[in-house]
Amino acid sequence: MTEPGPAGRRTSPRVLLVHTITFRQARSLVPVALAVFAGRGFEGGPVTVAVLAVAVTVLSLLWAALTWWRFSYDPGPTAVVVTRGLLSRSVRTVPNDRIRGVEIEAPLLHRLFGLVRVRIDAAAGSVAGKDEELLVDGVTRDEGDRLRAHLLARRAVVPAEATGRHAAAEPEEEELPRFLNRWLLYSPLVGSYLVVPLAAVGALFRLLDELPDRYVPELAPDLARQDVLDGWLIAAVVAAGLLLLALGSIAGSAVVNWRFRLLRRGGSLVAERGLITRRHTDLEVDRIRGCAVSEGLGMRLVGAARSTALVTGLGDAARRGQLLPLGPRDRAWLLSDLLVPSPGPLRPHPPAALRRRLVRALTPGVVVLLAGAVLNVTSGWWPLLLAGAVLTLLGWPVGHARYTALGHAAGPRTFAVRSGWLVREHVVLQRRAVVGWQVQQSAVQRRAGLATVLACVGAGRGGYAAIDMAADDVVDFAEASSGPWAATLRG
């Protein structure tokens, strides 16, 4: 580690090799280089391609060297100072007490060179067009651990009133309930993990479409003459596609969540995960304002769920705040209750909310049904009538499911709201998390005596709503969830 003087520390020079191999700078240079070569009349032969590759690589290496030379960081006793920029210099200072979390990333290529990235979540004012985080890319593993320990050492003992059950002395390191790799089998039931194999299939088809015909394999003559309507070909293709989709989602989930561990070290939660890129994420327990337990439709059928901590000032909270990426529902609730105790059973919403959900669920089917009836009478075309009947029949259980997903509760230290059908989310928040309330009431809701109340918090996505609760209960719920100051909603 070289020291550039009073300005701070530089990262390891080995990061230049990482950036050159991955063409980090060349990604923006390629379009410019192509335009220059085209303007000078170069033809697209092998020599041109080789010259272009060498030129872009050299320029990328020079750019990476200049960027490395002009980047420095200084983890001082009270603040972190990051200086960067070639022509326009930028100096950013973040007080240590505004740091929300620290994450160490070790991608595969970084690990080969003994390097890591350190991401520092800092709620110290927005930066236009950028996330509120600092990134120190290319320090040694020892330096990354030292930097993380230095930044997190500022944390003081949290008052008992703020932390509840966590006020007691904690062990130096405690492993919370372990993640079992067999839970990765839940991955095909999670939509976000299905996106990976679907994107891979789409990219493959696009590649095949771009290849010349002589490179595309042709179907065997016997297979081309197969009568798919009489054979098992369609069923076999569909089954193979579903199997590959499931295996792809499991593989994608394993790459992200392999050997997931959740530890508690003093006042911090440390999550470790990843197969190719190994990540170590530190979250300060005192910054946790709540927990969310989410269950997709498929996950509910097998009793699975995901648990996420809602942390103030945390970037990419959906991933970095995860307490349990996949697992049994009872394990997800165990982790949630360890950090934010549940306020108790949820109160159901009034019958008017059920009627509202049923009307909204049945309306599309009824509209299609009426249109199908008209077409059936005028032209004898009945498929649309059948589709409308099916949609109408499905609307009834869907409306009931949407209603049963609603609920709210308020306890002495926490409150909870729940909503969602395809993905049901049960959120438990601390009273101190609330920074404001917003009441929304449409004309239909006013006639039905309903309202939607939004708890504005400085964590997670910023607001969590109790949808279609009784309008007369809004103020009482807000007061019980945050304090007497919420009584101003009566005005």
Q: Which of 340, 361, 387 is the last residue of a domain?
A: 340
Flag whether 163 is in a domain.
no
Residue 160 located in a structural domain: no
Confidence at residue 166, expressed as pLDDT on a 0 to 100 scale: 45
Residue 156 burial class via C-beta count within 10 angstroms: exposed 0-12, middle 13-18, buried 19 and up: exposed
| Tens digits of residue pLDDT in 299-327 | 999 999 999 999 887 766 677 888 999 99
Same domain, 362 and 272: no
Half-sphere exposure of 127 (CA within 13 A, CB side): 15
In a domain, 4, yes or no: no
- Has residue 431 been placed in a domain? yes
Q: Is 31 within a domain?
A: yes
- What integer pLDDT is reported at residue 267 of this predicted model? 78
Q: Which residue range forms the structural domain that includes residue 123?
A: 15-154
Number of folded domains in the chain?
4
pLDDT at residue 396, rounded to an integer? 94
Which residues of the chain are modeled with pLDDT < 50?
A: 1-6, 124-131, 155-171, 229
Q: Residue 33 domain-assigned?
A: yes
Alpha helix locations (H) across 103-170?
A: 108-112, 141-152, 160-163
Question: Looking at the structure, do residues 238 and 326 belong to the same domain, yes or no?
Answer: yes
Domain termination site, one of 362, 385, 401: 401
What's the pLDDT score for residue 395?
Answer: 93
Question: What are the CA-CA distances from residue 200 to residues 149, 249, 253, 313, 335 (Å)?
Answer: 39, 11, 14, 33, 34
Query: 446 and 425: one domain?
Result: yes
Q: Are residues 236 and 310 in the same domain?
A: yes
Residue 8: predicted pLDDT: 75
| Same domain, yes or no: 279 and 312 | yes
| N residues, the chain | 491
Residue 10 identity (one-letter amino acid): R
Same domain, 487 and 425: yes
Specify the pLDDT at position 227. Answer: 54
User: Same domain, yes or no, for 207 and 134?
Assistant: no
Element (H, E) at 339: helix 329-339
Q: Is residue 167 part of a domain?
A: no
Which of these, 417, 416, 432, 427, lies nearest to 466 by C-alpha position? 417
Asked whether residue 316 is domain-assigned, the answer is yes
Q: Which of 313, 340, 367 is the last residue of a domain?
A: 340
CA 448, chain centre distance (Å): 36
> What is the per-residue pLDDT for 168?
43
Q: Are residues 84 and 119 in the same domain?
A: yes
Q: What is the pLDDT of residues 163-184, one digit of tens each?
A: 444 444 444 678 887 889 899 9
Q: Are residues 374 and 330 in the same domain?
A: no
CA distances from 294 to 179, 237, 329, 417 (A): 17, 33, 9, 12
Asked whether residue 474 falls in the same domain as residue 423, the answer is: yes
Domain co-membership, 303 together with 277: yes
* 231 and 134 belong to one structural domain: no
C-alpha 421 chain-centroid distance: 19
User: CATH code at 24?
Assistant: 2.30.29
Query: Given this model, what pLDDT does residue 167 score?
Result: 43
| Helix H or strand E segment including 298 | helix 297-301
